[in-house]
Each structure stands twice: as structure tokens, then as C-alpha cells.
Structure 1
Amino acid sequence: MTLGEQFKQLRQELGLSQPELAEMAGIEQSYLSKLENDKSVPSNEIFRSLLKAFNLELAQFLARFDLNSSRGQLSQIPDIENWLNRQQQQQGERQRRYLYSCSALIVIAVTLFYAGFSTLLFSEVRYQYESQGVVKPGEPKDIFHSWRRLILATGAEGDKQWRSKEAEMVQRRDVDYYLTRENFGEQLVMTVDGGLRSYQLDKQWQEPRLINALLQILGVLLFSAGIMGFVLERKLFKG
């Protein structure tokens, strides 16, 4: 619909004659007739007077138009041209923010997928450390393996000390296992009642974790959302 056709339709909707509307806007009836027949375009001041007579805001008036097809005619009025330019700038800002958001989704998606796939954040390696028993204060940490070197006596006395120490170590033997996802190296020492425990790395193995699978799934979903956002961008911001 043209600018003149809108003027005419608005006048008829208000039940006004041309002379009545012309008087309200402070213009000649003949000039109003030219406006309604698109033989002239109103000045900015007259356009404001007509809007006041119609009791409409600029945005309400322009909502009645297909701005894509009517932009050329409407832009001849400064107030409308300024409004359209502001709208275009605002849409440009919205479009840029939208594209930045889609890009951020893709970056986050790739990061999450890599974190889950590489297991950098949540290791899938389990370590098992083994301790033979409690090491008393003053004893070597490897007492359960090195106690034989502590026997210095020889002959019958050495045999006696050997059997006594062997019986003691057998009695003190209390195997304990410590499971962890953190790699402490070949040895781990922990303070316990009566002394300390020296744990030796016994074995390690891979154990999948649900959190890593979820990170990969979330990464794929966000990546798909980001790509779909780029695909839909033209439709969402057309015109």
C-alpha cells in the first residue's frame, strides 16, 4: 500500500472527510487530495501534523507498511528516513551479536568435545598402589622388602635374628590397596596410626568415565546448534 493510500484509509477509519482532516492538519483540502492520490509527498512538518491528527506514533504508522516495497517512497520524509536508518543499524547490531553467539557456540563445542575425547580434564586411567604393612618410626620405608639387610650378625646368632625378624615381618604384614585417578609416580607415602604406609605402584588400567562421553555429546549438540544458527541467519535477518 502506498503512502497516499494509507492516508486515505486512516482518514476513512476515523470517519473524517477530506475537509475535516485538512483542517485538523492545517493544510488545504486540495493538497490533502494530492497526498491521498500520491501526486505529492508531504514535508516533514506536514507529515507530523497528519500523524498528530491520526493520533498515531511514527512506529504505529509504519507498522501498516511493507517496508521492503515502500521504503523508496517513505524515505523521502526525513523523520521516516531517520527511523528506518536507526532500525537498520539496530538490526545490524542484533545480527552481529547473533553471529558472534553462533561462533561462540562452535568454539565452546569444539573445546568440550576435545576435552571429553582427550580425557584431559577427567582422566580415565586408574592407578592401584599396594602397601605391605605399617612402617614404624625409624624404619626404612621399604622395610618389608629390605629387612634382611638389617641382620648384621652371622653364624647361629644371625640365624636366630633372621628367624625372629622373619616371623615379625610375617605377623606385621597387612596388605592394603589404594585406588586413585591421580598419578603419584612409583611410590606414595601416607601417614597412618603407628607410623606410615609406603605404597608402591602395582598396576594401572583404562576405565571409561561417563563425564567424558557427556562432554563429547554436548560438544556435538552445541556445534550443530552453531552451524544451524549460521544456516538460519539469512532467514532471520532478511531484508
Structure 2
Amino acid sequence: MIQKVSATLNQDAMSLITKLSPSYISNHLAHLPEVAAEFSAVKKQQLKRLKQRFIMAALVVVSGLGLFMIGQLSLAFSEKSYTYISDGVIKEGEPLMLFSQYRMDELGETADQQRARLQGNTKRFDREYLLLHKKQARHVVKDVADGKRLFELTDTNKNQDIRNDLLSILGMMVTVVGMFGFWYVFKFKD
């Protein structure tokens, strides 16, 4: 009968059989050896496609969860900023703590010398701020045109970075797409 139908449609019998639903083939035509062999090959190919789609959906879900966690934990964009202050330029041969309000005991500075140093520094006082998003040491030395500047950590600020929130939202969206992928794989597995 299949031969007659395939002849009228100008098709091969096997190509006609492969276009039938898999449930109809397994219920009514699986007893024929040629059909069983072809059906087995088609089933293997469908199983391979199902596995590939399942793996792809799993990768999408894992990627989405990863993006969500990166955004929530602020791993991509720091939400802390560190403020450093320098009171002036230190020339070659001068001690790094020249603008410090404290006595330089390691250099053997007396109280009178400290007062004289602080009064002498008033003309050279030129405050400069440095804002960093990665914490350095307590003191940071930067080279400038006239010498060096000693920046001292004075403040740590926590700021809300919208990019982390957007990354979390993107992660949720990608996870939902992956879940729809799982649904699609299992809904249309035949």
C-alpha cells in the first residue's frame, strides 16, 4: 500500500515513511524490517538533536545565573571608591612625610622643628585629591613634574553602580530564556 501511495506522489517509499509521525511508525509499521532500520536511524538523530538542545539550554541557564551573581556580588564593577589626599609636592631629597601634621620621630624631629616645618609648608600647601576604585596601600606615592606627591587614604565610599544592577537583570533574562529552552526541548522532543 505504501508503495502505491509513494508511486502516485512520485516519492521514494522510505522518504514517505519518514514524514509520518514517529508514534504512528512505532505503532503500525515497526514490524517491517526496512522501516524499523530507518526508524531507528531517525530516532538516533532525534536523540542527538535533543541532547544538543538540552546542553545548549543548560549552558544558557548557567550563563544567566553567572551573570546574575556577578552583578549581585559587584564583581564586574566595583561599588567602592577610595579617596586619597596630598597636601603638596615633595621635592627631591625631602622626606615623604614633609606635609604630615605629626612629628617625624624617625628623623629625630623636635617639637620646635615640627612647628617650623609646618609654618614653612604653608606657602607650598597645594591640596590635591585622588579617587581610585581599587584600594592601594594606606599611602600612595605618585611622580609629578616638580617631584613627588604622597597621597594618604582618607575616606572609603560605597556607591551604587547601576551597571551591576543591569548585569543582574540581564542574567535573570538569560536564565528565563534558558528555562524556556528546557521547556521547548521537552515539549517538542519528538
TM over 0.5: yes
When residues 147 and 137 of structure 1 are mapped into structure 2, their CA distance, relative to the original with a 3 A threshold, is: farther
Relative to its length, the structure with more helix (as a share) is: 1
Query: In the alignment, what sits opposite 2:20?
Result: 65
Query: In the alignment, what sits opposite 2:160?
Result: 208
Query: In the alignment, what sits opposite 1:18?
Result: none
User: Structure 1 residue 166: deviation in Å?
Assistant: 4.4
Tell me how far apart the structure 2 counterparts of residues 174 and 194 of structure 1 sit (CA, whole Å): 13
Query: In the alignment, what sits opposite 1:178?
Result: 130
Out of 134, 138, 159, the position equivalent to 2:89 is: 134
Is the 8 Å Cα contact of residues 148 and 162 (structure 1) preserved in structure 2?
no
User: Structure 1 residue 131: deviation in Å?
Assistant: 0.2
User: Structure 1 residue 152: deviation in Å?
Assistant: 6.7
Is the 8 Å Cα contact of residues 68 and 172 (structure 2) preserved in structure 1?
yes
User: Normalised by the size of structure 1, how large is the TM-score?
Assistant: 0.68
User: Normalised by the size of structure 2, how large is the TM-score?
Assistant: 0.84
Tell me how far apart the structure 1 counterparts of residues 157 and 59 of structure 2 sit (CA, whole Å): 36
Tell me how far apart the structure 2 counterparts of residues 129 and 121 of structure 1 sit (CA, whole Å): 23
When residues 64 and 192 of structure 1 are mapped into structure 2, their CA distance, relative to the original with a 3 A threshold, is: closer
Report the 3-state secondary structure (helix = DSSP H, G, I; strand = E; otherwise coil) of the residue aligned with 1:144.
coil
Out of 3, 9, 12, the position equivalent to 1:56 is: 12
When residues 137 and 146 of structure 1 are mapped into structure 2, their CA distance, relative to the original with a 3 A threshold, is: farther
Structure 1 stretches of 4+ with a deviation exceeding 4 A read 146-154
Give a deviation string over 1:193-215, Cα, whole Å, max 9, x none: 12110000121111122221121
Is the 8 Å Cα contact of residues 151 and 162 (structure 1) preserved in structure 2?
no
User: Structure 1 residue 10: deviation in Å?
Assistant: 4.1
Query: In the alignment, what sits opposite 1:8?
Result: 4
User: Structure 1 residue 135: deviation in Å?
Assistant: 0.8
When residues 70 and 88 of structure 1 are mapped into structure 2, their CA distance, relative to the original with a 3 A threshold, is: closer
CA RMSD across the alignment: 2.8
Give a deviation string over 1:48-93, Cα, whole Å, max 9, x none: xxxxxx552732x225533422334433333322211111111111
Query: In the alignment, what sits opposite 1:123?
Result: 78
Query: Quick check: 1:88 aligned with 2:43?
Result: yes
Question: Which runs of 5 or more structure 2 residues have no equivalent in the other structure?
Answer: none
Structure with the bigger RCO (C-alpha within 8 Å, sep 6+) is 2
Query: Quick check: 1:226 aligned with 2:178?
Result: yes
Tell me how far apart the structure 2 counterparts of residues 179 and 108 of structure 1 sit (CA, whole Å): 33
Report the 3-state secondary structure (helix = DSSP H, G, I; strand = E; otherwise coil) of the residue aligned with 2:81.
strand
Tell me how far apart the structure 2 counterparts of residues 235 and 124 of structure 1 sit (CA, whole Å): 43
Q: Which has the larger radius of gyration?
A: 1
When residues 162 and 70 of structure 1 are mapped into structure 2, their CA distance, relative to the original with a 3 A threshold, is: closer
Deviates more, 1:135-144 or 1:73-82: 73-82
Report the 3-state secondary structure (helix = DSSP H, G, I; strand = E; otherwise coil) of the residue aligned with 2:55.
helix
Query: In the alignment, what sits opposite 2:29?
Result: 74
